[in-house]
Amino acid sequence: MYKTSCGASKALATAFFFCCAANALHAQEDSPPDAQTPGTSADSLRVSGYNKTFGIASRTADANDDNYFLGLNRTRFKLTYLRPHLEVRVENDTELRFGDYIRTAQFKSETSAPRRQYWDMETTLADQNGHNIRNDMFRTYMKMSYENADIIFGRQRIVLGTGRMWSTVDMLNPLNPLQIERDEYVGVDAALTEYKLGALSRVSAVIAPDPARGATRWVSQYRRNFGGTDINFTAAHYWNDQLFGTDFATQLGGFGLHGELTYTAAFRGRNYSSAVFGVDYAFQNTFNISAETYQSNQPRLQRQADFFAEPLRFQTEPLGTRYLGLNMSYEFTPLLKAEGFYFFNQQDKSRAVSTTLTYSMTDNLQLQLGMQQFYGHDNTEFGRLHALYFVQSQWFF
């Protein structure tokens, strides 16, 4: 059945709003050439994007245990408008999904999961038995800069914490360690204000309304470099919890070190602490290795209660409270790269292994093959999942 929804109108209205706002600011800031800010460039409009196609074969993790194939084709158009003190960016995704996975109960469950963005700009253009077409805004934001201050409003990716596989600081837009597209961050609908105190220090504040229309989330940070070490101090309000923490990134000899330490004053249950620590090393022969651990003393039942009370937390926090992770990569040639991840849940002893092989066929065309393997009992986090195989191509324009 083909259908349309108000999502399309919302997406178009949002893009139209940013364009009108940019024009309004443009009109207010226009001045003769000799009055322009020194060092600024003329207005520019840039259009870029990519087309990606990939296929996934696996079995569902629900009681039906269905074999499935999922195909996806995504076209992303990225529009960037630049002028002195102003940047407007709109990234629009149109996705075609096809295959028997569309007919599974697991797919229906995923589509009904809570959204991670406050504004619903997704449109279902077609929904039939064998395919699904959607349109959504991946990024839509306006950045205004004046002297040492930046203000960004809209759907954006906000960098929080230094964790590579997990994070105790970032509850807004963290990366899922098992996601196939590791360079795709969902982003968050928020207002971000940053003020530079110096070349190596700044303060920032984030306000992000809760997609479930609950308590507004906010984050404040102070960032500073001490003797070559980047250190952040964070205070945040996620749902009804108060979080206080610090994170760092530094070099020690040839090793890179990073970590996060947080204390959460919980709305439900007892207060708890969480930590991430990681180390990485790059060899001269292009072999890189990283190890990271995530540890939290939050009781397991308390975390499950949090997931039940705020389902969105299930998409922003690890299921367990103790993990070890390993990442290795090697460039056989400048065009061919292999990468692997290993994740170990220390509580239920389940394990996951993810490997990819990426080949750059041209400057703007990549081909990738990959697989994920899972080990453990059927009632464990990774053991309940089934082997997954995928192939994808990406063409940039």
pLDDT block averages, 10 residues each, the chain of length 397 = 44 51 49 38 87 97 92 97 96 96 89 86 88 95 96 96 95 89 91 95 96 93 95 96 97 96 95 98 96 96 90 89 98 97 97 98 97 96 96 97
Count CB-CB contacts under 10 A for residue 386: 15
- Overall pTM surpassing 0.95 (yes/no): no
Distance between CA atoms of residues 171 and 310, nearest Å: 12
Distance between CA atoms of residues 230 and 219, nearest Å: 18
Do the Cβ atoms of 48 and 396 come closer than 8 Å? yes
- Please calculate the CA angle 42-43-46 and round it to the nearest 5 degrees: 125
Q: Which of 86, 78, 55 is nearest to 68 (CA)?
A: 55
| pLDDT at 111 (0 to 100) | 82
| pLDDT at 163 (0 to 100) | 95
Give the side-chain half-sphere CA count within 13 A for 362: 7
Distance between CA atoms of residues 273 and 321, nearest Å: 11
Length of the chain: 397
**Residue 19 token pair:** 């364009």
| pLDDT at 18 (0 to 100) | 55
**Residue 301 token pair:** 């039942």
Write down all domains in the chain, each with its CATH number in brackets.
1-30+39-156 (no CATH), 160-397 (2.40.160.10)
Give the side-chain half-sphere CA count within 13 A for 63: 0
Q: Could you list the beta-strand ranges (E) of the chain.
A: 44-59, 67-83, 86-98, 123-127, 131-146, 149-156, 188-198, 201-208, 217-226, 229-238, 241-252, 255-265, 272-282, 288-296, 322-333, 336-345, 351-362, 365-375, 388-396
